[in-house]
Amino acid sequence: MNNYVLYRKWRPKSFSDLVGQTAIRKTLVNAISQNRIAHAYLFSGPRGTGKTSTARILAKAINCKTENIEDRLICNTCENCTDINSSNSLDLIEIDAASNRGIDEIRSIRDKSNYSPSKSLYKVYVLDEAHMLTKDASNALLKTLEEPPPHVIFILATTEADKMEPTILSRCQRFDFKKIDNNDIFQRLEQIANDEKVNISESAIKRIAEISEGSLRDAESFLEQAILSNDEEYIDINQINTILGITDSKQIELLQESILTGNINQTIQLINNSVSNNTSIKQLHNSLIISLRETLITQASTSNDKERILHMAKCLKILVNLDFSKSLNHTSSLEIAAIEASMLKENEDYISSKVIINEAPIKTLENTANQTPENSIEEIIETEKPNIEVPNENILKDMHSETDNQEKIETIAEQNTEVPNENIIKSDSWQSIIEKFAKIKGERFAIGALLRDCREASIDNEKLYLSFASNSNQERFIGELEHGRIKLDLIESISKTFQISTLKEIVYNDSEKKNNSNNNSVNLSVMKALNWGGQIIEEEVQNDE
């Protein structure tokens, strides 16, 4: 067995060797000791968590010939145990359901299951990746799975139990395997390293446990890869990062901070530096998610800053939703997701600064108003005396200043609600923008069709002001712009067309929304027309009566 890879050499051989899955191990041991064995089991869970190993251990436990063992554990010395350990047992049939998923293969299993075991007490069928069975094959297995021969036990293992037929699930005793804790993986790897006489640091083992994502098989494979790739006698965390293409933790912290602070230039530079150092993009993405998640949990448990916690959650959501399976260039996909997350900070800074400008004078006025009654009460008490005094000049000045402040606040509020009339984009120029986006399809609607409904567009103070004729079309347009790609493309196109390098935000004229009820109920044909580039035209319906 010395020529086996580590994960095969160190495969658990008894229930006591299983790492994690304490509840499953205890339930199965009790069932065997009480002779209450089910006829069909379903082991579901992520890869590398011990599903197939547990199936083999269960097969050995029910067929072990040695008696009087504590908790009815496996001896690993009798004929049946040694045959299973060496994969030579005729009574343990392991089938890959991904390549034997048809109805003919299942009929063959059903016919062969009627024969008695050759040496053991039970004949055990293990169907790995059982969710790959076709619907017809699953139906063919139903009757046998519900009432198998008394000497047959079925064990179905799968990573996606939700894809299996409900009729199959209802006939099995289900056990859900969880991802293995990093501490348990660390202890197992430390044991393997000591027995294999590998000189490796604890920090390196912890790093391997972190990137294994709860899969002990992956962790053992990473350890073996580090052993084979290392020419020196000692393995440290830097060598692990280099061998497995992992970014250093300090670089991950810098990248996380640049995203949270909205530093786009630094974000792109850090990603490019990682790529230049032959870092795996998937490992970089995974490490960034793990780091941001841990920071979010720490922030949520120790701080009451809800705005910061919400901002971190939004950034984490963008990164988690990144799917490399649909991408042709993994580096570009990660860069785009990081830019979208970084821009969230810029949007929040804009909103918060706008609120501060509008609210600061009001708060000052409220404070002065709250202080005024106390002073006026004292003055009133004094005025009740026979000698009535005329208010001094300072009090009159304060009253005039308060009135001036109130007028300034009203003026600022009116200016914030008005759409600037200067720098209005001409219809010819705006038509070129519409034509550029005419064939771009958003999540639900055509962007060009929605832009045609814009009555007026203007640029002022690094902002693009849009005024839509239809309230519903404006809401659809805002919904499409939630996807960062379309928003970035629109701002970039307008910036290039009008040679404005500082355009950053889009503002809508909410004061001129239409409240026409017909716009809120658009039928399917109208929606299709909008997707084809049509335009909503308001018509006055005349009564024929």
Taking only the tens place, the pLDDT of each residue in 71-102 is: 456 888 888 888 998 888 899 999 998 888 88
The DSSP element (H or E) to which 7 belongs, if any, is: helix 6-9
**DSSP secondary-structure letter at 119?**
S
Q: Is 127 helix (H, G, I), strand (E, B) or coil?
A: strand
- In whole angstroms, how large is the CA radius of gyration of the chain? 35
Confidence of residue 504 (pLDDT cuts 50, 70, 90): low
Instruction: Give the whole-angstrom CA distance, residue 227 versus residue 5.
Output: 12
Q: Determine phi and psi for 41, rounding to 5 degrees.
A: -125, 150
- Mean pLDDT check: name the lowest of 51-60, 329-338, 524-533: 524-533
Candidates 1.10.940.10, 3.30.420.40, 1.10.8.60, 1.10.10.10; correct CATH number of 180-244? 1.10.8.60
- Cβ(314)–Cβ(341) under 8 Å? yes
Instruction: Give the whole-angstrom CA distance, residue 17 versus residue 188.
Output: 10
Counting residues of the chain whose pLDDT is more than 90, the rounded percentage is: 20
Instruction: Give the whole-angstrom CA distance, residue 16 versus residue 10.
Output: 13
Q: Is 379 helix (H, G, I), strand (E, B) or coil?
A: helix
At 112-121, the pLDDT tens digits run: 888 889 888 8
Asked if pLDDT for residue 23 goes beyond 60, the answer is yes
The pLDDT, as a whole number, for residue 503 is 64
**HSE on the CB side for 397, CA within 13 Å?**
3
Token couple for 19: 């790492």
The pLDDT, as a whole number, for residue 72 is 53
Asked if pLDDT for residue 27 goes beyond 90, the answer is yes
Instruction: Give the whole-angstrom CA distance, residue 101 versus residue 104.
Output: 8
Owner of token pair 């929304």: 513
The pLDDT, as a whole number, for residue 373 is 42
Instruction: Give the whole-angstrom CA distance, residue 352 versus residue 183.
Output: 42
What is the domain partition of the chain in residue ranges?
6-176, 180-244, 248-342, 427-531
CATH number of the 6-176 domain: 3.40.50.300
The pLDDT, as a whole number, for residue 67 is 67
Owner of token pair 């007028």: 407
The pLDDT, as a whole number, for residue 383 is 44
At 417-470, the pLDDT tens digits run: 444 444 566 666 677 777 777 666 666 777 777 777 776 777 776 777 778 777
Q: What integer is the mean pLDDT of 463-492?
A: 74
Counting residues of the chain whose pLDDT is more than 70, the rounded percentage is: 71
At 345-371, the pLDDT tens digits run: 655 554 454 444 444 443 433 343 344
